[in-house]
Structure 1
Amino acid sequence: MPNSKTYTDQLGNQHRFNQTPKRIISLVPSQTELLYDLGLEDSIVGITKFCVHPFHLKATKAIVGGTKQVKIDKIKALQPDIIIANKEENTLEIVESLQDICSVWVTDIITIEDNLQMISDFGQLFNKRIEAQKWIDKTNFALADFQHFIKDKEVKKVAYFIWANPYMVAGGDTFINELLKLNKFENIYDNHENLRGAEQHVAKYEGRYPEIVIQKMRIQGDPDYVLLSSEPFPFKDEHAFELGRHTHHATTIFVDGEMFSWYGSRLVKAIEYFKSLHERL
């Protein structure tokens, strides 16, 4: 195919296209937002029920399920040229089940560099190089500004909770952990060695989102701040009170989970949010 181009996703899988993909299904909320911000609203034909930004897409695009369960027949009927997935958000089973329909492009975002690479990849893939470069430049400018803002701040120890009953936290090798580091927050669950007594959970969650025993928080790092994410679990005041009892002096803070876990163009907004968070502290 003389006019075809080959692109490589973040898992190293190669994808060949005869022309720029025009019909896109996104299975990842933050990546839906990025596609919109790159000027691809008209090309998006399907999204998940969790793709809430920008909000109007839920009324104008087909909903093809969630991030863990999708409606394969509905996806097939939309005749996509490409499906955008993510290694963490979507299961291997979903990716494999959709590969018979069209190319399934899988992103893998752990570092800020991974995030910038994804934006660049989308710019190449969808012929939106100028728009992608604008978002990369905006992100780099915001990061440089934030590094200046935070340079004199002290490092503080934190535990970042994502779930209750059982209690689960963000561990190492996660985008959340990278953004905690950016904020000069030392994640007490970054190191797997801190998880003695919960080895079975480390194995189950590969240490990335381990289930923890909150009664051991003092000996596992005794954080300065306990951060309760607004998603995926709706933490309440009683959770804050219970968790606070198991530290010596931690302040418990409700934080916007989208700002800590969404990648793509969201990082620019997140950095402004982090400034306001530090002003609250």
Structure 2
Amino acid sequence: MSTPARHGPRRIVCLVEEPTEVLYALGEQERIVGISGFTVRPPRARREKPKVSAFTSAKIDAILALKPDFAIGFSDIQADIAAELVRRGVEVWIANHRSVGEILDYVRRLGALVGCAAKAEAYAGELQRGIDRIAGQAALLPRRPRVYFEEWDEPRISGIRWVAELVRIAGGDDIFPELAAEPLAKQRILADDDEIIRRAPDIVFGSWCGKKFQPARVAARPGWQNVPAVRDGELHEIKSPIILQPGPAALTDGLRALHTHIARWARTTPDS
């Protein structure tokens, strides 16, 4: 009996983590020949695949030595890497998904690209059902906290769109919804702390893009002593690999981490 022909690219370099996580979930990991050095999911990928890129830089010669027929990256930040690979004859897909819905669509598109659209649709459906379960639990909470999500501390950068959406799904309300709509980090920089203090977050989530979040430093910021989150000790780290990459991790572990803190706050913090 003949083996079915494999469709789509067969030697893929993943310049960011999310395509690696998706391809492993779809059972298509054999197509991956190189990954980002920041990849942590799934853990086996770090053991099995050579690491050939960071986020804003890449080992172009090492990538070319792998003879890839496709490379997958994310956003304008990787535009220079993409341009160099294109100049060297590599086909490149730079995705730019920024919302929860777009992450799910990314899973479907990547699956279709490698010839397993049905598996990708099933996986996206599984992810959606997990989101719906959390949303249903959040809808039963007695109240919703005001949430400040901080991507970076100096300067202060508030959360990107999919993070703000996940906060809402988890049962909270992001205090900077107007900034969450901005795709670039530089557009989400807060000039000073005055507006954060004025909007009085009940919970502060920190995910300092790979740097350890330090609640004590946040609590010691001038003028923050009366912020409800500081007063009540609601300063929590969400590890960046599970929230700041627009892939399955954010929709699963990241969302669950947000909901755990929000649900506990909603059920235990007395009304002010």
Tell me the TM-score normalised to structure 1 length.
0.79
Q: How does 1:77-96 map to 2 (within 5 A)?
A: 77-87=65-75, 90-96=77-83
Q: Which residue of 2 aligns with 1:218?
A: 197
Q: Which residue of 2 aligns with 1:257?
A: 240
On the 8 A contact 1:162/1:232 being kept in 2, the answer is no
More displaced 10-residue stretch of structure 1: 61-70 or 90-99: 90-99
Quote the Cα distance in structure 1 between the aligned partners of 2:9 and 2:184. 37
Q: For 2:110, which of 99, 122, 129 is the aligned residue?
A: 122
Q: Secondary structure at the match of 2:242?
A: helix
The answer to whether 1:54 aligns with 2:42 is: yes
Q: Which residue of 2 aligns with 1:280?
A: 264
CA positional deviation for 1:273: 3.3
Quote the Cα distance in structure 2 between the aligned partners of 1:203 and 1:136. 23
Quote the Cα distance in structure 1 between the aligned partners of 2:75 and 2:49. 23
On the 8 A contact 1:31/1:263 being kept in 2, the answer is no
Quote the Cα distance in structure 2 between the aligned partners of 1:224 and 1:140. 28
On the 8 A contact 1:159/1:227 being kept in 2, the answer is yes
Quote the Cα distance in structure 2 between the aligned partners of 1:102 and 1:262. 24
Quote the Cα distance in structure 1 between the aligned partners of 2:65 and 2:185. 35
Cα distance change, pair 110–203 in 1 and its aligned pair in 2 (3 A): closer
On the 8 A contact 1:28/1:51 being kept in 2, the answer is yes
Q: What CA deviation, in whole Å up to 9, does each residue of 1:191-239 have, x standing for no partner?
A: 25xxxxxxxxx998452x31442244223x1211111126332122432
Quick one: which amino acid aligns to residue 156 of structure 2? Y
CA positional deviation for 1:245: 5.0
Quote the Cα distance in structure 1 between the aligned partners of 2:149 and 2:22. 25
Q: Between Structure 1 and Structure 2, how many residues are aligned?
A: 250
Higher helix share: 2
The answer to whether 1:27 aligns with 2:15 is: yes
Q: For 2:205, which of 219, 227, 249 is the aligned residue?
A: 227
Cα distance change, pair 23–141 in 1 and its aligned pair in 2 (3 A): same
Q: Which residue of 1 aligns with 2:139?
A: 151
Quote the Cα distance in structure 2 between the aligned partners of 1:134 and 1:204. 31
Cα distance change, pair 253–271 in 1 and its aligned pair in 2 (3 A): closer
Tell me the TM-score normalised to structure 2 length.
0.82
Cα distance change, pair 164–278 in 1 and its aligned pair in 2 (3 A): closer
Cα distance change, pair 243–184 in 1 and its aligned pair in 2 (3 A): farther
User: Which structure 1 residue ranges, 5 or more long, are not aligned?
Assistant: 1-17, 193-201
Q: What CA deviation, in whole Å up to 9, does each residue of 1:156-207 have, x standing for no partner?
A: 2111112223332225xx2212212222322222225xxxxxxxxx998452
User: Which structure 2 residue ranges, 5 or more long, are not aligned?
Assistant: 1-5, 266-272
Percent identical:
21
Cα distance change, pair 44–203 in 1 and its aligned pair in 2 (3 A): closer
Quote the Cα distance in structure 1 between the aligned partners of 2:183 and 2:111. 37
Q: Which residue of 1 aligns with 2:163?
A: 176
Cα distance change, pair 272–191 in 1 and its aligned pair in 2 (3 A): closer
Cα distance change, pair 230–277 in 1 and its aligned pair in 2 (3 A): farther
Cα distance change, pair 269–237 in 1 and its aligned pair in 2 (3 A): closer
On the 8 A contact 1:169/1:212 being kept in 2, the answer is no
Structural RMSD (CA) = 2.5
